[in-house]
A and B are shown apart, each in its own frame.
Chain A
């Protein structure tokens, strides 16, 4: 399946992907209205070191620890290989946060559920908005 992959050397640490993620999942079509004055809760996170920067989002692991560990059955792997979360079923126990080796699933801002990257299939974008707007191809969406 196509996944998001990181080209660490090219990441500028601009954090634009975080904003694009928050915007894509805001349900709004106007970026200013979606983000202005708000704390964002993106599903991708950029780590900054002294000389390195890179973005981390769900790896859609082949054998996903989160799917096996979820206590409610909210996390599943679909036919394409994508790991999905059913926010209605999720009870926010954070077992998935405890097991994800990459820190790629996190509490949703309402505190009652977890959230994770679903490659923008769950919003209006249809394809990863973070990748689309990365100015330096530091994240790509492809088969590997």
Chain B
């Protein structure tokens, strides 16, 4: 059996490991258009922050590919899938045959057209290790002023990474508050205070009308000078390979619960796909590392002849900024339960006898107990939810349920 995996990151590696666990003999080819062994993509901001280093960023040990007998092809791009001939065309012209193919191509940065953007010479995205290394170089020497376009997860993690080595960081976003995809206004205010204390300036409800080489002219009329620009407005899933091969693509690659695309023997996993969100029931791109791993592992199992399904996808984010902790999960619909005091903030979203979602700022303890209520869609009538509202705790469960957790193997 010959397996080809496009993408050497969370989803691709999870699949490769699962294939190897089930098929000791099969040939596994891993293609990557990056040049590094697998690293924790989210760690690029921690690298700039000095909280990790190149060696510790490696997601697996140095002998990982060899030990597992994976044929790893760094710096090799898959250009085209021929689903009839079952082969992949590589950059350089080589063709690789497959019996089973996994597309785990992730996403790429996307910036809408903005007047003058091409005039900015020191302009970076923040998605890859190479991006982080280039940014590091650009920030070396005399402290620079940085302008970050986008106050989402990636923009603000970048901000945390560089705030203390920059001469001020300005962030602009069209949204009225920071981290709009995961926080409400009150939660965002806590995080914004922390970032402000590290010298960040925010231009919210605003956007860039035009760039000069070293300044952003905002719609509000303000002019913000900078030395270095980071664009973190959005991402686009890398779906083209599947689309051009005739596979079904909506916003992301369309897959079933076994991670199969509409093309025979072609699977997809990770940020390039759409998941069915178990909370909202909607199909959406869940660009999250755990989701990429679960999908990748499921794809690997099925590619190697197993029959696994992954059908518990939902949003969840753990993100921190200079010690301010944000944990969120699920969807923000339903009745709200709120507690706020100083820098702690908690909001639960309660649906029809189920927990739909939560926002926890500086309230991390035992948060996974809430997350599990979402994952299992636990009927709240089976637990003491009045207790759980106050704090996530196992005593809110029945003695029987608890024995199932603590008195037997799980």
Contact = CB atoms under 8 A, between A and B. Distances in A.
Interface of A: 3, 5-8, 47-49, 52, 54, 56, 59, 61-62, 65, 68-69, 71-73, 88-89, 91-103, 105-107, 111-112, 144
B350 to A, nearest CB: 19
B51 A112 contact: yes
Given A68-B290, A94-B320, A94-B325, A103 B366 contact: yes
Interface of B: 14, 40, 42-43, 46, 51-52, 56-60, 289-290, 293-294, 297, 316-320, 323, 325, 327, 329, 364-369, 371-372, 375, 392-395, 399, 402-403, 405-410
Contact of B289 (A3, A52, A69, A89): A69
A6 B393 contact: no
A114 to B, nearest CB: 10
Nearest to A5: B407
Contact of B319 (A72, A88, A93, A106): A93
**8 A-B pairs with the lowest CB-CB distances in the bound complex, closest first:** A103-B366, A69-B290, A101-B372, A100-B368, A6-B406, A73-B59, A95-B318, A98-B318
Given A8-B402, A59-B406, A102-B394, 4 more contacts: A7-B407, A54-B394, A71-B43, A102-B369
A92 B293 CA distance: 19
Contact of B394 (A56, A99, A107): A56
A89 B56 contact: yes
Contacts of B409: 3, 59, 62, 144
A133 to B, nearest CB: 19
Nearest to A52: B395
A101 B407 contact: no
Contacts of B394: 47, 54, 56, 102-103
A54 B397 CA distance: 12
Contacts of A71: 40, 42-43, 289
A72 B410 contact: no
A61 to B, nearest CB: 5
A56 B320 contact: no
